[in-house]
Every structure is written in C-alpha cells, then in structure tokens.
Amino acid sequence: MVTTLSSIILEQLQKDKEISPEDATRLDDSTTLPPAIHDKLRQRFRFKIIRHRGSVGSTTTENLFKSFATALQSADPSLLILPYLASKQHYSPLATLKQIQLVDSNQMNQFFESFYHRQLYSLSGYLHISSQLSFNDITSLPKVQEWLDTNKYIIKLCSSQAEEMVPLGALCYSNVLMHREDLKEAFYNHLLWKTQFPTNSPIIDIYLGDFLASGKKEKMLFVSGEKSKQEELTKFFNILYNGDSKQYHNASMMLFIPFTEGMHMSQQYRYNILLNHLQNNDQGDVLAIGGLQDLSRMSHPLLFQHFQPNSSKSIHVAVFQKMDRDYVLARKNTLEAELRQVVNPADENKIFVDPQEGIWFGNVHQSKHRAIVKTAHHTKTGQAYANKVNSLLYSPPKKRTQSNTAATATQLT
C-alpha cells in the first residue's frame, strides 16, 4: 500500500514539472487564492470611490464594478478584491480576471457597498482590497488613473481601516457651514468621550447628506462610526445632544436623531424633524477672504464662527451669523489695517501671501446642493475690477445725449 502511494506521488510530481508556464497561467485563472496568502507582505485598504457631481452615464453599477475591478487587477496582478464586511472576511476573494468577469449582481454586493439603496448607474460606494503595493502606488498606476479620469471618479481611504462604518444618526439643527473637522475634534476631546472611551477610541465621521421626509429633503449633518461600536457611540450622542439647555461646542445646540438598527421612523415623525430643523436653524452667512497664508485651525469667536481654508487653499472661508452681517461688512474696511498694526513688518509674509497686496474679500454662494462655491477671482486686483463691473451693471443706466456720444467718438478717432 505504501509502495503504491509513493509511486502515485512521484508520478504527480513528474507531471507538475512538465506543466508549461502557459498552462500554469491558465490553471491560475481557475483557482481561488485565499486572502491569507503572503499576508505578511500584503496590506489591506478600505476606500471609498466617489463620482464627480456633474458626471452622468448609462453604464450599470455591475458593469462599472467589473470594469474598475479589471483595471485594478490588470494594473496590479497581486491585488485581491476582498469582501467589504468585516464579518465576511472568510469568504473567497476575487483574485483573477476570470473571476471578476463571472461575478453577478448578487455576488457583487459582497464586494461592493453602495452609498445609496437602489443605486443602478453609479459606482459611488466602498471597496476593500489587498495588495503588495501601497495605496498611493495603486492610485498612481496608469491603468487605474486612466479609468478614474475616463469615468470621472476619485478614490479616498476610509477613516477606519479595521471595519466598515455605519450611519449612527442625524444632527437636527446642524449648520451645513460648520467646520466638520473642528466639530469632530471637539467630540474626541470631550470629557464624556474620554470617560466612555478611555482606551481604544472609536473612529467617527461627520458628513453632509439629505434628510428625506414626505417627498421633501433638506441638507443636514450626519454621523457615522465603526460598526462594532455602534451601540456605545449612539449612547454618547444621545447624551451629548439630547436637546437640554446646556453649554454646547461653539454654542451650536443640536438634537441627535439616532438610526437604531431595526428602528422604523414614520413619515410623520420624519416630517416633524424636518420642519423643526428648518424653523430653528440659522444657516448663517459666509464670506471669502483671500491673500492670507494657510492659517489652519485659526478661530476668532468674536467675529467668525468658523474660519478655515477651502480645499484648494486659495481662499479662507469665514462663517458668521446672519445677524452680524452689517458688523462684519463694516469690519472689512479696517481688518487689514488692524492686522498690520499688531504684526511686525518683518513678519508680514507669514500672514499675507503678498504683503504689498494685503487681503481682499469676495462673495461666496451655495449651490442648490448646499456646496460652497468660491469666487472666481483669486487676486485683489481681479476682485476689485469685478466689483466695479458689478456696480456698473446693477446701477441705473445714465442718459447719454447724442452730442456727448459724438464727442466721445471724435476723441477716440
């Protein structure tokens, strides 16, 4: 029996040696590699893929998933597409191009978590991959960059790399102009947070979304957190923002509306929340200030509620209460002089981008999606000329006689 078994093993070893590289490649396409292979050399990344707001397309989510996964795997043959949920990491990953092409819509849901329910023509959502390359190296691969540029998507690492994030609730009365990073930092530094989470502090995110009720919707801030800490985090926000009269961060009173798992909110209940949010929420006003250096995390509570650079660092966005608008507009004329009085002339280049030009103010408005849209002018001279043109366009037209027009024409000739 032992002799027979040994001969079978030797025969199989001989066949393995005779397999050509092409045959080995074909065999590899039909096999499934477990995620444990080379774990010491691999890194796992949870990331979100976001479609540009203005892009449109008719390609289905399933085909977009296959197309993007193919681009990733073609660019990096060592890459594995893993199940997104932490509880399903024992499932087999997508390791080859053949496996990717055979995926149907039900299997895709194991590897891709969409932003919205019934999302049919967008790949906006969450993915989980494993690779021997770093995340920056993956995003720099030509095939990946080409796919993202062609289909108008960007990708960013998720806040938590250990597990998926889930919505915890909405912040009723929240101001969409609030500096979210500053608010999140305030949560982490709160005494209640440190008491409830003395070690292994959970990760949270604050994002802007639509609160829906009876066919209406309104922008509101939402909180998400790590799934394993959902219950503890919900308890924290229930205590912190319970509607009581007390001191709140930045004097911004909000009411936390939890999204408890299995909880059903009636349309009437949701409508009452939305109505109260609209009636008791002052969204404030906003102003663009150009010409300042990157003064990140600067705050002036006596003048502005929030003050931070925009994403491109080209201007600073200052948020203030609408009732203070006249006061802020009056201070515009003296703010630069006040800064120069307290700053040593030798240090002006640390405050101003160009000490000779100083600072300038521009209008900032919100789009229909409540996104802050900055002014198109990035210099003091350009903004001054734009203001002059606006004053001419909106001022009453001056009556010009025929003689004056003829005299002007003569001077020009």
pTM: 0.66
Q: In the prediction, which pLDDT does 297 show?
A: 45
Q: Provide the pLDDT confidence category of residue 384 given band limits of 50, 70 and 90.
A: low
Q: In the prediction, which pLDDT does 31 show?
A: 42
Find the mean pLDDT for residues 27-36: 44
Kindly give the pairing relationship between strand 216-226 and strand 360-363.
unpaired
Q: What's the rounded Cα separation, in Å, for the pair 259 and 280?
A: 22
Q: In the prediction, which pLDDT does 95 show?
A: 93
* Residue (of 73, 81, 196) closest to 144 by Cα position: 73
The yes-or-no verdict on residue 196 having pLDDT over 70 is yes
The yes-or-no verdict on residue 52 having pLDDT over 80 is yes
pLDDT top residue among 27 and 185? 185
Find the mean pLDDT for residues 247-273: 82
Q: Which alpha helices (H) appear in 219-282, and where do they start and end?
A: 230-240, 267-279
Q: Provide the pLDDT confidence category of residue 407 given band limits of 50, 70 and 90.
A: low
The yes-or-no verdict on residue 405 having pLDDT over 70 is no
Q: In the prediction, which pLDDT does 178 show?
A: 75
- Per-residue model confidence as pLDDT tens digits over 262-279: 677 888 889 999 988 888
The yes-or-no verdict on residue 229 having pLDDT over 90 is yes
Q: In the prediction, which pLDDT does 128 show?
A: 96
151, two tokens? 């289909």
Angle at 169 between CA 166 and CA 175, to 5 degrees: 120
Helix (H, G, I), strand (E, B) or coil at 229: helix
Question: To which residue do tokens 């203070």 refer?
Answer: 324
Q: At what angle do helices 142-151 and 61-75 cross, to 10 degrees?
A: 160
The yes-or-no verdict on residue 349 having pLDDT over 60 is yes
What mean pLDDT value characterizes the chain? 78
Find the mean pLDDT for residues 202-218: 90
For residue 364, count CB atoms less than 10 angstroms from its CB and return exposed for 0-12, middle for 13-18, buried for 19 or more: buried
pLDDT top residue among 252 and 313? 252
- Per-residue model confidence as pLDDT tens digits over 273-307: 998 888 876 666 777 777 777 655 444 445 666 66
Percentage of the chain with pLDDT > 90?
38
**Looking at the DSSP assignment, which residues form a beta bridge with residue 258?**
169
Find the mean pLDDT for residues 129-151: 94
* Residue (of 239, 288, 286, 231) closest to 262 by Cα position: 231
Q: Provide the pLDDT confidence category of residue 364 given band limits of 50, 70 and 90.
A: low
Amino acid identity, position 337: A
Residues contacting residue 367 through CB under 8 Å, at least 6 positions apart: 373
Q: In the prediction, which pLDDT does 234 show?
A: 94
Find the mean pLDDT for residues 7-21: 51
Q: Looking at the domain that runs over 29-157, which CATH code has it been given?
A: 3.30.70
Q: What share of the chain is helix, strand, coil (3-state, %, to 5)?
A: 40, 20, 40
33, two tokens? 């590699």
The yes-or-no verdict on residue 144 having pLDDT over 60 is yes
Hey, what long-range contacts does 347-350 have (CB within 8 A, 24 or more apart)? Answer: 350/293
